[in-house]
């Protein structure tokens, strides 16, 4: 695997993330106020994830579930998960719940682009080849983020969402991230960021159905 740092260079990532935090702080304050006003519990949700070199760190997100939801059920969330709040569904669909991870980037826990960090119990299921994703800093956006935007729907269609994630999706995500890491480049990472932004906008504003198409 290449060790070349592209957007994953710590100083570059931290600088961009700091600028983004400054620019987006009014929007983030508004999101936080809406989260607090519409459901009981803290504004932010934190969770231990595994970062570069297998080191644990605390990831930040806007809370999208009812308070204490992680104690009620498995650490996977199908599209029909009743624990997700109404505001939480909007934040998840637009990926706005991930904005607090800009703080993780400033702290050096994460990069702008890289494999999405997993929780310790799922990292424990990696085989030797899959653990290579831990050689680099995890990212806010990664190949698996773009490739599995339908993850919640796929989990909802599975008879046992947790088992399906552990046995299938977890390993498919890692393989996709590994493919990307084998051929990292500045152009490739910028393209991934743009494709992710475009995909999020298409989810919020789907293409109109052509005349004559099945509805």
pLDDT in tens, 80-89: 999 999 999 9
pLDDT at 4 (0 to 100):
44
Q: Pseudo-torsion of CA 131, 132, 134, 138, nearest 10°?
A: -120
Q: Output Rg (C-alpha) for the chain, integer angstroms.
A: 17
In terms of DSSP H, where are the helices of the chain? Answer: 10-38, 86-94, 101-107, 120-123, 143-147, 151-157, 161-164, 170-181, 186-204
pLDDT at 7 (0 to 100):
55
pLDDT at 8 (0 to 100):
53
User: For the whole model, what pTM was predicted?
Assistant: 0.87
Cα–Cα dist 7/122, whole Å: 26
Cα–Cα dist 197/141, whole Å: 10
pLDDT at 9 (0 to 100):
64
pLDDT in tens, 12-65: 899 999 999 999 999 999 999 999 999 999 999 999 999 999 999 999 999 999
Instruction: Indicate the helix (H) or strand (E) that contains 60.
Output: strand 56-62
All residue ranges of the chain with pLDDT < 50 are 1-5, 205-215
pLDDT at 183 (0 to 100):
80
Cα–Cα dist 172/151, whole Å: 11
């Amino acid at each position: 695997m290449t060790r070349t740092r592209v957007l994953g260079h710590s100083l570059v990532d931290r600088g961009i993330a700091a600028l983004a935090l400054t620019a987006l702080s009014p929007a983030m304050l508004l999101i936080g106020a809406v989260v607090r006003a519409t459901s009981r519990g803290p504004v932010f949700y934190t969770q231990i994830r595994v970062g570069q070199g297998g080191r644990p760190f605390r990831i930040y997100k806007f809370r999208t579930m009812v308070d204490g939801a992680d104690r009620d059920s498995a650490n996977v969330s199908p599209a029909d998960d009743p624990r997700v709040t109404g505001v939480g569904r909007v934040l998840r669909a637009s990926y706005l719940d991930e904005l607090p991870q800009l703080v993780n980037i400033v702290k050096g826990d994460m990069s702008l682009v890289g494999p999405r960090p997993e929780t310790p119990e799922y990292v424990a299921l990696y085989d030797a080849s899959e653990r290579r994703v831990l050689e680099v800093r995890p990212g806010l956006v990664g190949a698996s983020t773009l490739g599995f935007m339908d993850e919640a729907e796929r989990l909802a269609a599975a008879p046992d969402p947790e088992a399906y994630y552990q046995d299938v999706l977890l390993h498919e995500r890692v393989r996709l991230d590994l493919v990307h890491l084998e051929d990292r480049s500045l152009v490739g990472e910028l393209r991934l960021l743009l494709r992710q932004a475009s995909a999020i906008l298409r989810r919020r504003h789907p293409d109109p159905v052509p005349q004559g198409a099945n509805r």
